[in-house]
Amino acid sequence: MPENTFKESFKVAGGQLLDMVKKLVHEGNVRRVVIKQDARVIAEFPLTVGVIGTVLAPVLAAIGAIAAFMNECTIEVERVVSDSADKATKTDNVA
């Protein structure tokens, strides 16, 4: 089943960073999270479909530490959408 990827960006305050990343991971279709401050990449975390809480805990701890030192940052998210899901969405919008 072919997959399409696309990127989104969110600007968040440092205190919101951890909550936003947790929310994105919970959605389940996120392949990669990149945290930037201005144009500098601060951290980049690849996520896989089978990631469980114990494996993700060190990543979330690192994000929490990063958030403590940042005022504002940008989160870039690479999402995966399967072609079948994309077609279903287009079909639902036609009606």
Looking at residue 95, its pLDDT comes to: 45
pLDDT in tens, 20-56: 888 887 877 888 889 998 889 988 888 765 555 556 7
Strand order of the β-sheet with 72-82 is: 3-13, 72-82, 30-37, 40-46
Looking at residue 1, its pLDDT comes to: 53
pLDDT band for position 83 (cuts 50, 70, 90): low
pTM of the model as a whole: 0.70
- 5 contacts 86 by C-beta, under 8 angstroms: no
DSSP code, position 49 = T
Residue with token string 């600007």: 11
Mean pLDDT along residues 67-72: 83
**Which residue ranges form the domains of the chain, and what is each CATH number?**
3-80 (3.30.1490)
Question: What is the DSSP track for 14-42?
Answer: GGGHHHHHHHHHHHS-EEEEEEEETTEEE
Higher model confidence: residue 82 or residue 17? 17
